[in-house]
Amino acid sequence: MNIALIAHDLKKEELINLTVAYRDVFARHTLFATGTTGSRIMKATNLNVCCLKSGPFGGDQEIGALVAQNEIDAVFFIRDPLAALAHGSDVTALLRLCDVQCIPVATNIASAELLVKAIQRQELGWRDVVHRYRNDRRNGTEG
């Protein structure tokens, strides 16, 4: 699975702690993250993370582009609901794209733990169907 990891500044430590606690789960998947978050996760876990731009500089939009192409299977976006963000419209757009593509999203540490446990138990198998369908369409073999 392709997993996106994003966290607002005051929530980065929570996401890092989650990735440390469930390192074995995340290690079995391809990870994408916004800049600072990804760098800090790599340092804490030694996991390989494809780091995109920082959120305010377009990282949320880069992940959104992957979501729009159905290239992301799950999003961990640990948000700070009390922070005023200059790029709030980017956040809203990313969450809307996840809804459009039916991508599971965790926006707080409680829902993040539920999502990581579902991934651990391989309960998102329907994403495999999405990938097969997308590949069939690319290859012109859809039935």
Q: Is residue 59 within a helix (H) or strand (E), and if so which, with residue range?
A: helix 59-68
Q: Is residue 5 within a helix (H) or strand (E), and if so which, with residue range?
A: strand 2-7
Return d(Cα 26, Cα 101) in angstroms, integer: 22
- Burial-class residue 89 by CB neighbours within 10 Å (0-12, 13-18, 19+): exposed
Residue 60 annotated as catalytic: yes
Return d(Cα 101, Cα 85) in angstroms, integer: 25
Q: Out of 9, 60, 90, 128, pick the active-site residue.
A: 60
Active site residues: 60
